[in-house]
A = this chain, B = another copy of it.
Amino acid sequence: MTHLIDALDSPRTIASTVSSRIEGFLDTKADEFAAISPDADDIGQALFEFTRGGKMVRPVLLWWGFQLAVGDDPDWERLKPGVAEAAGSLELLHAAALIHDDVIDHSDTRRGRLALHRQFEALHGRHRYQGDDESFGVSAAIVIGDICLALSEELFETSQSTLGITALTRELRATLRRDVMVGQYLDVLAEVIPLEDERLAERAWEVLSFKSAKYSVEQPLLLGAALGGADEEQLKEISRFGLPLGQAFQLRDDVLGVFGDPAATGKPAGDDIREGKRTVLIAESVKNLSRAQAHILAKRLGDPNLSDTEVSECMAMLTDAGGLEAVESSIRAKHEEALSIVREWATDGAGAQASRTRIGPAVQQQLTEFAETLSYRKS
């Protein structure tokens, strides 16, 4: 049966519903922590603050995946709380990944505030604890990241009592979790491999796809759709849209990581240069650099003490070598590829048949606008 979807809930509504659910869940958990020991109070508080202010990209996409699969289901109101829990679980997973990422990348800030390990380093000072404050911050962040990961599992499990669970959803959830973590390992590895390595570009695409494009866009959509009962064929159709959009999303992130406005990104300018990220942007630039230039870039990538001038010089290098333009062109191509699928879904063509979903003009507009935000966002 082909069904027609007339409207998706707005990202704002979804974000607010999911946020409330996460907050309610964390409240309960914070009470449990405090019951173990008064000392555990800070965990709940930290997670509560950390999970606020995220962009909620993954929850929105899971939610939409579900709506695309179920169509105008009369049972929707009953299912909604379960969808909010499954969506919230992705946001907690993401928070856990960010907490550990910031430790790994030695990042000082996140979302315009102190990174979690820096927060606990500061707390060490405030409470006049003994020993090394930096080491305490890192240890606390490792453990709290683990707790956040466990809470993500728990909230997903909770959703099962409303949504049920199938082998397919279980598998997709496991794949999503695995891909982002293996992607993160590959990211760590890429940073220690010489810039002249022949697999540089290939590696950059592996990290981009697994650590981000699949995990942030394609898989939330797929998981949502599978929770809504989509079959393999529908899922394939959703991947045709989700993967290129996810790639455009992460390519934009790579551009913002170097050229982004600190006020908008919440991260220092050129942060990815100082962290030594081996992005597609870097790989595309290296191709066209002279040996001498490549040597300079290799030396500077990953040096946390670069001056602003040195960072600016690297930025100029990436622009002059055509890396920036190559990435912008990839973004345009991937973005267009994703939109062409949306257009198919809006007609009675092959795509709509394969996905057994036809979207109305309002939904086409919603998906187009959201894709625009992901591919061309300012922060």
Contact = CB atoms under 8 A, between A and B. Distances in A.
A206 B36 contact: yes
Interface of A is mostly: helix
B167 A161 contact: yes
A181 B146 contact: yes
Contacts of A182: 33, 36-37, 40, 43, 147
B206 A100 contact: no
A203 interface: yes
B143 A192 contact: no
A136 interface: yes
Contact of A142 (B104, B129, B186): B104
Nearest to A302: B131
Contacts of A32: 178
B104 A139 contact: yes
Interface string A46-63: 000000000000000000
Contacts of A203: 37, 39
A262 to B, nearest CB: 25
A140 B185 contact: yes
Contacts of A36: 179, 182-183, 186, 206, 210
Q: This chain: how many copies in the complex?
A: 2
Contacts of A146: 96, 100, 145-146, 149, 181, 184
Residue from the set A33, A146, A157, A194 with the largest chain B CB neighbour count within 10 Å: A146
Given A174-B154, A174-B157, A184-B143, A131 B191 contact: yes
Given A143-B184, A170-B157, A185-B140, A131 B100 contact: no
B40 A186 contact: yes
A188 interface: yes
Contact of A150 (B138, B143, B154, B174): B174
Interface string A18-49: 00000000000100110011011001000000
A29 B130 CA distance: 42
Interface string A199-228: 000010010001000000000000000000
Given A130-B192, A130-B302, 6 more contacts: A29-B178, A32-B178, A100-B142, A139-B188, A142-B142, A149-B149
List the 9 shortest-distance A-B pairs measured between CB atoms, nearest first.
A129-B192, A104-B139, A139-B188, A143-B185, A150-B177, A37-B206, A147-B181, A154-B174, A131-B192
25 contacts: A33-B182, A36-B179, A36-B210, A39-B186, A40-B182, A40-B186, A96-B146, A104-B143, A129-B192, A130-B194, A131-B192, A140-B185, A142-B142, A146-B184, A147-B181, A147-B182, A149-B149, A150-B174, A150-B177, A153-B153, A153-B174, A153-B177, A154-B177, A157-B170, A161-B167
